[in-house]
Each structure stands twice: as C-alpha cells, then as structure tokens.
Amino acid sequence: MSPSFRSLRDLMEVTEEAAAVPPPSPTPSSGDSEKELEASSGKEVELADSLIHLQQKEERTTPIEEQLLETLKKEIESTEKLEKPKKMVRVQSYEEIVDNASVAHIPLKSYASVGTSFEKFELNSIYSAIKLNNAENTAMMEEAWETLQKSYVYYKGRPVGTLAAMDPTAEALNYNQVFVRDFVPSGLACLMRPASAGGDPEIVKNFLLKTLHLQGWEKRIDNFTLGEGVMPASFKVLYDSHRQKETLVADFGGSAIGRVAPVDSGFWWIILLRSYTKCTHDYTLSEMPEVQKGMKLILNLCLSDGFDTFPTLLCADGCSMIDRRMGIYGYPIEIQALFYFALRCSRQMLKPERDGKELIKRIDKRITALSYHIQNYYWLDFTQLNNIYRYKTEEYSHTAVNKFNVIPESIPDWVFDFMPLRGGYLIGNVSPARMDFRWFLVGNCIAILSSLVTPAQATAIMDLIEERWEDLIGEMPLKIVYPALEGHDWRTVTGFDPKNTRWSYHNGGTWPALIWLLTAACIKTGRPQIAKRAIELMEQRLSKDGWPEYYDGKAGRYVGKQARKYQTWSISGYLVAKLMIENPANLLIISLEEDKRISKPKFTRSISF
C-alpha cells in the first residue's frame, strides 16, 4: 500500500528514499533551442515511462505527485528572491502522463486521516473520473473560456480587467465593474493558459498598471481622506460622449455598502504582481519605479506603528470578500493571511535601494511576528480546543496561559461536534476575550499557499476538509464560512441583514469561485484527489445553472436567491482549478514555499500532527 504523504516535503523525502529506481530526470529546455525542445519532448515519454515503472514497482507516488516533486524540488532549491532563471523547466501535464499509462495501473492513495468510507469513495471517484464524459468537460471549459473573454473590459482599446458578472436578467448595480479581488482568478487563468492556447499575460499587466494609476487618486469620503496606498475595490470605464473620451471611475469604499474600504485589494494587487512576474519572467514591470512605489505605499499603510499590541491588522467589518456586516471586524483571518502573503511576495520584489532596505527590515520582523502569532493563537484542533475548554481566566502578567482572557463558556456548542479527532484549522478571529471559532475557507487556503501555517498544520487543514466534507463542501463547493449565524446571533451580528440570512450568501453560502483556492491548497499539500472530487461535483451543475455567483442551503443545493448568473469569478475560478489539476506546475505561479528563516514554534499538542 502506498504511504500517506502528509505534505509535499514528506513526499519528497519518501521519494528520495526510494532510490532503487533512478529518479526521473526533469525536462529542461532553454526555450530558445529547438533541438533541446525536441530532445525534451522525447525525455517526457521517458519520464512518463519511468514514472509508471516507479508506480508499478513501488506504488509509492502518483504521477501528479512525481511532477510536483520535481518541480517543487527546483522551487525549494531556488533562492528566496525571484531569480531570473537561466533555464525554463517544462513539466508535462497529468493528462499527458495518463495518456501513456494503462488506466488500470493508476495507484490509489489512501490517507491516514480517512476511514474506509472515504477510501471507497476515492476508488469510485477515481474510476468515475476516468470514465468522465470528457466531451462534456471540454465543452464546459470552452464555454468558460469564451464567457471569460466576453467579460473583458477595454480602456483605450486594451483589455484592463473583467466584469464581475454578465447577467442579462439582473440589475447590474456594481457588477458591471472590474473588482480587484474578482479579477485575481481571471488574471491567473490568463497567466496559466499556455500561449499556444490563447494565454494572455497582457491583460494582467494592463490591469496592474491601471489599478496602480487609480491608487494615485485622492480618496475622500465626506470630509475624510483615505491613506495614499489604498487600492480600489472596483473600477469601471465610462464613455464621456460629450468629450468623446473614455474615463475611469473607481470605488474605494465610498460607494460600497457600509462605506468600508477594501483592505484586501492592495494585498491581492501585490500577490498578482508576483504571479505575473513569476509566470512571465518579465521583471521590468515589478522593477518600474512607480510599481515599487505602489508596493511601498500599500505596505506603509499596514506597517506603521500605532497602538497595536498584536502583529495582526485591525480591520472594520466588511473590508474583504465578505463586504457586508458579518462579525469579521477585529483581526479576521482572511486579511491576516493575505497580509502575510503580500508581505512575503513584496519581500521578493522590493528593491533594497534607498528607503527599501529599511522597509525590508520591517517586513522581515513583521513576517516573523505574524507567523508566530497566527500559528500559535489562531490554531485550533481537538487538543487545543480541550485546552481552551479548561482555561483559567483572569490570569494577570506575562505568565498567563490564557493570554486573551477567553472565557471558556463563550465557546459555542457547535465547535465541540464539528472538531474531528484528526485535523484542525485557523479560527476566524482572535482579540481580547474573543475567539471567533467559525471556519473561513479563504483564510485557511491562503495560509497554506503562503506557508503561513506549518506543513503539519496545512496537512491537518486538509484532514479537516475530508472529515467534515458534508459541512464544508456538501453538494457544491465551497462554503465560504461555517457554520451560518442564525436567530439571535444573526440579528445581533449582521444587524438583521436580509441578504445574509442563514446558509445564504456570506453567511454560510456556497461560492464556486473559491474552487481555485482549494485546488491550489490540495496540490500544495499533496492531496490533489480532494480537489478532483470537489471539481467533479461542480462540473455536474455549474454550467447548467448558468455559472451562479453563489448557492444557498446547508448543502449548497439551491442557486442563491440573489445570485447573479454568469459571475466571472465562478467561471475563472473553475478554469484556474482545472489548469492546476491538469498541470500542477501552475501551482508555483501562486504558491510560496516555507520561509526557512522563520523560527517555528514547537507544536506538540495535536494528534493530527
């Protein structure tokens, strides 16, 4: 039986031990030599052959893991800074390898964390995946690409972003704008798609430059001016027929419901800039003085000294994807994870010239403090829950165990049932006397992608997703938050919000757009089968339902009450997930390896480790 790989690093160690079979050689190609290209395609067949040989003899790894192994080995070996590579490595797709293999030989991986029922499911899902109606899937992909292209927004003849939705039956409101966060999966899809198939990094570059230009505007809400670095939530192109000119109109929160500025936009901008650079190797963009300045302005907003006693970022409710009142004020995990991700991305791109050096020092300090804080105080698993349950309160001075004076009676009943023996997650929020125990998907996946959590914690998050599949995935991926607020909690926390009723929209609703984040996290932790299973569920309905923005209900069975159809990030999120499953090397465009300079806290507490 093949061992269970807890992480890619484990996978690498195990595979390195399996030296009985010579490791498959990577397929380097300089990209400019046709000869080398030919030679490398020949080697791919060899690689596939040796991989299959390895599986048959050793049954140690799946082809997808082997590819990642090779690719990530390279990634880990490379230095922290985004180095200009001398050679490009082409990693063949999973499909290519499978084409060379007899389907019956695909080894099945069992996970230590799952019981027999899941293993049975794995068997069924893999065989049904093999039998999947490929034609139908191809048609779905084609429809997705076509619709994505139709959503392009042009400014002075150039594509600069994608519309949030193109639902002809619903009032546009602000869905006819380019949202920064919504554009991320669209941009990634354009980056990951091979150039021969229509990949288009140009739109990403234009988007990054246009939004940078908007950052330079003076941002005023009533009589108050926002910080210089704030990035818009969204923008649109207006045609001034009088002046016969196109103009851009941006929203920095001034028109948003609740008038909250989007804290996530600037972070996503930095993350996408790093993805663009990583994918295209075009360093001229990130090195432009105005781009360097844009990064610094965003970071200065978050790194300024103040009254904070925590390294986390204090936020107002509704400042991210969940842009309505939902009790995420304080130190929400989504923002903390994005903050960490953006800090690490900018660390790779900032030039140490002039004030750069000083800023880099501050970034390093914050990265260390933030990861310590999150890994320690946001982490919840069975053992830690039991610790909190037995906490003493009113402890004074630095020797306190219960540092934030959390009263155990405030632990909601549902957590005790929800918490499996195996697995764990980062909770939603930590502040004085307050732990928000809700599960938030974005924060947890971003924490995996940015290596904010340790590899052991990343594995435990995946264990939790498997163990609580019905709750977190159900019939359609993916729950944005679990559980929903109901009754009195809903009234007091959301302020009677009729759009965020229980199991709807941001309050326990299901968001297909998030599939790319789950898929990336699954591949990174060496568990692609989890993503495949979720994608299969999605493929049964998403296109037939008209690519809705969200689904309602505990199992995510119903198309959301006010959901837009042809929601762009539902489309591009699906495309990015498929592009990563087909070619796991695409993960590297959006993922960061562990920062080895950060000293790790010693975890002894959980059986999931």
- Pick between residue 234 and residue 606 the one whose CB is nearest to ligand GLC: 234
Distance, CA of 200 to CA of 187 (rounded, Å): 9
Distance, CA of 431 to CA of 418 (rounded, Å): 22
Per CB under 6 A, the segment of 52-60, 177-185, 422-430, 433-441 that binds ligand GLC is 177-185
**Residue 432: is the preceding peptide bond cis (ω within 30°)?**
no
Size, binding site for ligand GLC by CB under 6 A: 6
Q: Nearest Cα to 412, choosing from 381, 448, 387, 438?
A: 438
DSSP string for residues in 223-268: TEEPPTTPPPSEEEEEEETTTTEEEEEEESSSSSTT----HHHHHH
Distances (CA, A) of 378 to 313, 373, 454: 14, 7, 13
**Contact status: 427 vs ligand GLC (CB under 6 A):** no
**Contact status: 563 vs ligand GLC (CB under 6 A):** no
- Pick between residue 233 and residue 297 the one whose CB is nearest to ligand GLC: 233
Exposed e or buried b for every residue in 439-470, given b needs 16+ CB within 10 A?
A: bbbbbbbbbbbbbbbbbbbbbbbbbbbbbbbe
**Residue among 260, 321, 349, 460 that touches ligand GLC (CB under 6 A):** 321
Per CB under 6 A, the segment of 52-60, 179-187, 515-523, 526-534 that binds ligand GLC is 179-187
**Contact status: 164 vs ligand GLC (CB under 6 A):** yes
**Contact status: 236 vs ligand GLC (CB under 6 A):** no
Exposed e or buried b for every residue in 531-552, given b needs 16+ CB within 10 A?
A: bbbbbebbbebbbebbbbbbbb
Sign for the CA dihedral angle at 425, 430, 436, 441 comes to: negative
Rounded least distance, CB 449 to ligand GLC, Å = 19
Per CB under 6 A, the segment of 52-60, 86-94, 175-183, 432-440 that binds ligand GLC is 175-183
Per CB under 6 A, the segment of 19-27, 71-79, 136-144, 174-182 that binds ligand GLC is 174-182
**Contact status: 323 vs ligand GLC (CB under 6 A):** yes
- Pick between residue 262 and residue 311 the one whose CB is nearest to ligand GLC: 262
Rounded least distance, CB 151 to ligand GLC, Å = 11
- Pick between residue 437 and residue 550 the one whose CB is nearest to ligand GLC: 550
Distance in angstroms between the alpha carbons of the first and the last residue of the chain: 21
| Contact by Cβ (8 Å): 105, 52 | yes
Which residues inside 324-353 make contact with ligand GLC, applying CB under 6 A?
none
- Pick between residue 178 and residue 301 the one whose CB is nearest to ligand GLC: 178
**Residue among 44, 65, 182, 594 that touches ligand GLC (CB under 6 A):** 182
Distance, CA of 463 to CA of 237 (rounded, Å): 45
Distance of alpha carbon 10 from its chain centroid, rounded? 22
**Residue among 94, 118, 179, 207 that touches ligand GLC (CB under 6 A):** 179
- Pick between residue 176 and residue 431 the one whose CB is nearest to ligand GLC: 176
Residues of the shown chain interacting with ligand GLC in the complex, contacts defined by CB under 6 A: 164, 179, 181-182, 321, 323
